Structures are given as structure tokens and as C-alpha cells.
Amino acid sequence: MDTLQLLIAGIANGCIYGLIALGFVLIYKASESVNFAQGDMMILGAFLAIALINTNQADLPFLLGLALAGLTLGVFGYLLDALLLRRVFGQPQLTMVVLTIALGFVLRFIIGAIWGHDPVGLESPVAGERLTIGALTIPLVDVVIIGATVFLVAVLWLFFARTRLGLAMQASSQNQMAAYYMGIPVKRVVSLVWAMSGVVAAIAGVLFAAKGAVEPSAGLVFGIKAFAAAVIGGLGSLPGALAGGLLIGVMEPFAGRYLPSHVAQVSPYVLMLVVLIVRPSGLFAQMKQKKV
Amino acid sequence: MSLLDVSNVSLSFGGIRAIDGVSFTVKPGEVFTIVGPNGAGKSSLFNLISRIYEPADGAIRFDGRDLLACQAHEVIELGVARTFQNIELFDHATVLDNLLIGRHSRRRTRWFEDLLFLPRVRREERAHRRQVEEVIDFLELAAYRDRMIQGLPYGVRKVVEIAQALVAEPRLLLLDEPASGLSMEETESMAWWIEDMQKDLGLTIVMVEHDMGLVSQVSDRVLAIAEGRPLAEGTPAEIRAHPEVIRAWLGGVEEA
């Protein structure tokens, strides 16, 4: 029973890692670089949701607050690319890496300046509720997290497989020149991917804050772990990102239970190193190597 | 009435004049070929027409519309499709998927309609697939339909790229060195495809090509350029006999 309990808690955590890892992969495919502010965008989404939903703040209905936070982060992602990152397009990948690391610092500072540095939780309709099945007791929020992730991933999958825009996104990430001549406005499509990863970050942030308290700098460590998840899955693969997230999420509670705490903390990175040594392109790598 | 009207275009890279006052017009239904030594500016001309490069000077009109007012992704909607010297396809997708994405500019459904797979979407999808299958039949690609681009022979990929341009139902097709890297046999079939596209589909074709055999076989008119400047224009036979052209090709006088 204990194992099952740990497993479910791990899967719920892993879902959030997976969503952020998904954001890493989306951006990696669209912009061929890594957005190291992904974790901080998630925390921004969390704090926005808290400000919109909590009773001592704007006190909006939960789903409305969630939608508004998602919308805001979506617009943020779009404008971030359209106004700033598009200007460094064509520069070495490192340019955008440094830029997004800096952006992460700025976001952490702004979040701290607006909402303070004390941990706050998001008041969700399922807070404190538990689901009891036989001897198994699961926090309802974990069930909601898993359900929401499954739903979101299903929608994303349908979007990429079926819609004209989703296919255009896939095409742009494979060959920008060819995409242009299919009539795809590649720059706008890339900005839309950024918007999408903003929305996903906000949803992950809301799920994260519904589970426990958040503070402005939480995005840093969380983002790095999610990056490890994305690398484990193979940076170019969306299913890989989710699998990597789940792997790290499930690993943590077990490592915490059965290993000394200082070992448990580094376990995600050890896993990443092992994967990089055994399968350098990640567990779910689709592409062998980019042809030059 | 001309379909494509390029008048007095110039293009500079930094201080270098890549194209210097080139003009030509292409009539509906003809195969018009641009020839010239390496570095003459042939591909640059294509890149001007398909809006990768911004000309320093001049005007380009397609069917009476100002092409320079369009962005690169908009030329296909006007009816101008192209291929590339080095083949630009989606390597990690099948031939069929490459052709389906080639229909992008003809798709009219919105993303939420797509997501719900409404009857209108299904109807449109069937039409797109029919169109794609017609092109597959036309260019005899049925055997490669479900194969990944990555594993295909070079010559087949060349034809797939043309198919990808055709599914968008263009009126003008720009072929950038369609025979480069092809064997003699493949070049021969390329000549047939070009003739078929001109006669059966009524396409207007502008081509850049080195292989003078192919050029003579399919072209109605030829423009020779060298060092970004026009040398001569005429029938393939006229161009081959033109003293300026012979000097630029064989004399190597102007090699810099």
C-alpha cells in the first residue's frame, strides 16, 4: 500500500515536471534553443492564479482564474518572442540561452517584488480533500493533477496531429525554408509556439501551487529538474518529455524514502547523467543528428 | 500579356552587386530558362522572385500584382511555387505527408474546426487527399508514397519536391536546377515531367539549369546572364550560338 501511495504521489509530481519538460521541448523544436526561464514562467503563472483566485485577493472562480492566468502567460510568451527573441534569431544558440537565463532572474525578481518572498498556496476547490479507496488514501489534488495532465496532453496531441496550425508548427520545426514556401508564416508560428508553452507553463504552475506552497524562486530548481526530464526523454520528443518527467517524479519520493536525503536530492541529475552516457540522444530520440 | 514581369532588378550584398539591372518577361504557358556561369546570379534571381532577398532596385510583378509587396510565405497563395537546388523537404516525414503539408496554402479550415473534425473539415480533407493522389499518379510516385524522405534516392527526392510544389496548384513553377545531381536517365525523365507539366497542366515554368541538353529540349526561350548582368535572350539555339554567351562560358574572360 505504501508503495502504491508513493507511486501515485510521484506520478502527480511527475505530471508537473512533464508539463514543464514539454515546454522545454516545444521551444527547443521551434527555436532550436532552450528556454531556461520555463520554470520561472510557471511560477509567474502560479502567482497570477493565486492573485486572481485566493479569497483574500481577487477572489475569482477557480476556472476563470486559471483561464486568465493561462491567457496572460500565453500573451506573455507570444510577445516575448515577437518583440525580443525574434531579434536574436540566427545568432548562436548560446545567445538565447543566456537571454532566457537572464529573463529567469528578472522574472524571479519581479515576482518577489510584487508578491513578496513568503511561500503561498493556491486555494483550490479540492484542497485538503482526500480520496479513500480501501486502505489507500490519495489527496484529491493529485487525482486532479493527473487527470488535467492527461486531458491537456490529449488536446495537444490532437492539435499537432490534426490542425492546420499544429501541422504548420511541426513543419516549421523540421525545415523553415520549406515551410515558408508551403505558405507558412514561420515567424508568427514560432511566436505561437511560445504562446503555447506559456499557457502550458501557467497550467503547470496552477497545478503546482494547488499542491503546496510556492515562493518566487521555486521555478529555478524546478525548471532545472524539468530540464533534466526533457534531456532524459530526448530534447526533441514530446512523449519523451512526459516520460522523463514521470520518471523523475516517481523517482523522487522513492529516493526520499529509501535513500539518505543528500543522495535523494541529486537523484534526478544522476539519472540524467546515466541516460546521457548510455543513450546520449535521450530515451525517445527521433532524430539521430541534424544534417549540415 | 505577360505572367511574370521582372523589370530592372538589382541586388547587392554589402558592396557586391550580385544582380545588376536584369529584366525579363515570361508569357503564360511557356518554359523560360535562365542560364549562366556559376555565380552569375541565377539563384539570386529566384530568391528575389520568391522573396527571400529584397532587391535594391526594380520591380517584380506576377499576373499584374506587385510581388514585392508580398512576404515569402504569401507568394504561394498568389500561385508561385518553387523547388530548391539542394532540395528542401521535410526529411522525417513520408512522401504523402510532405505532399499533404504542401496543401497548407489551400486549406481553409480553422484550428478549432480541425480539432473537432467537423463535417466541413472531413469534406476538405477528402478533397486535399484526392488532389495529392492525382499528383502522385501524375509524377508516378505511387511506389514511394509511404516512404520517409530520408531514405529515398536523390533523384526521387527531386521529383517529390516538384510534387510538393504541384499540390499547391500553382500557376508559375520555379525550378532551381531540376537536373543537378541527376543521372542521364533521370535527367531524361525530368525533361518529360517538365514537358508534361507545361502541356498537360498548362503550367508556366521558369527554370535555372546548367544542363544545356535539357535546356534546349524543354525551353521556349532562354535568358543568359553573367556577373549579374543580362547577356542575351532568345531561343535555345540562338543562345548557344551567341558570341557573347560563348565568350562568357568558354573564354573565362570575366572570371573574377
Q: What angle do CA B221, B204, B46 make, to 5 degrees?
A: 75
Spell out the residues 6+ positions from residue B241 whose beta carbon is closer than 8 angstroms to its own: none
Tell me which residue has cell 536584369: B22
Kindly state the cell numbers that stand for A121.
498556496
Sign of CA dihedral B144, B147, B153, B158: positive
Task: Among A164, A165, A183, select the one facing B73 at the smallest CB separation.
Answer: A183
* Encoded amino acid at B196, one letter: D
- Report the C-alpha gap between B56 and B44 in whole angstroms: 13
Rg (CA), chain B: 19
Tens of pLDDT, residues A23-82: 999 999 888 889 999 999 999 999 999 999 998 888 899 999 999 999 999 999 999 999
The 10s digit of each residue's pLDDT in A170-202 is 999 989 889 999 999 999 999 999 999 999 999
Query: A13 and A249 in contact (C-beta within 8 Å)?
Result: yes
DSSP A59-94: ---HHHHHHHHHHHHHHHHHHIIIIIGGGGTTS-HH
Taking the CB of residue B125, how many other CB atoms lie within 10 A of it?
17
pTM of the model: 0.87
Reported as a single tens digit per residue, the pLDDT across A227-246 is: 999 999 888 888 899 999 99
Interface confidence, given as ipTM, is 0.83
Range name among B119-123, B189-193, B249-253 with the lowest pLDDT average: B249-253
Grid cell listed for A270: 544522476
Give the β-pairing of B16-26 and B4-13. Answer: antiparallel
Q: Which of residues 194-233 of A touch B (CB under 8 A)?
A: none
Specify the pLDDT at position A280: 82
pLDDT range class, residue A292, cuts 50, 70, 90 = very low
Grid cell at residue A217: 524562486
pLDDT digits (tens, 9 = 90+) for B174-223: 999 999 999 999 999 999 999 999 999 999 999 999 888 999 999 999 99
What is the average per-residue pLDDT within A112-130?
90
Number of other CB atoms surrounding residue A156 within 10 Å = 18
- Beta-carbon separation of A184 and B73 below 8 A: yes
Q: Which residue of B has its CA nearest to A180?
A: B73
Q: What is the pLDDT of residue A248?
A: 93
Interface touch B89/A175, C-beta < 8 Å = yes
Instruction: Tell me: pLDDT of A288 over 90.
Output: no
Taking CA atoms, what residue in A is nearest to B102?
A182
CA-based end-to-end distance of chain A: 53
User: Which chain A residues have a beta carbon less than 8 Å from that of B157?
Assistant: none
pLDDT of residue B251: 64
Contact criterion met (CB < 8 Å) for A171 and B81: no
Residue in chain B closest to A165 (alpha carbons) equals B111
* DSSP 8-state secondary structure symbol assigned to residue B148: B
**Would you state the pLDDT for residue A124?**
87
Nearest to A202 by CA among A28, A14, A62, A41: A41
Question: Which of the residues B76, B91, B94, B104 would you substitute to probe the A interface, choosing the one with the greatest number of A C-beta atoms within 10 Å?
Answer: B104
Buried b vs exposed e over B13-29: b needs ≥16 C-beta within 10 Å?
eeeebbbbebebebeee
Would you say A225 and A32 are in contact if contact means Cβ atoms under 8 Å apart?
no
CA distance B256 to B254: 6
- List, in order, residues 6 or more apart from B215 with CB less than 8 Å away: B33, B35, B207, B209, B222, B236
B43 at interface of A, judged by CB pairs closer than 8 A = no
- Residue A85 neighbours by CB distance under 10 Å: 23
Considering only CA atoms, which of B152, B18, B4, B163 is closest in space to residue B75?
B4
Using the 8-state DSSP alphabet, how is residue A259 labeled?
S
Contact criterion met (CB < 8 Å) for B111 and A163: yes
- The nearest CA of chain A is from the CA of B104 a distance in Å of 6
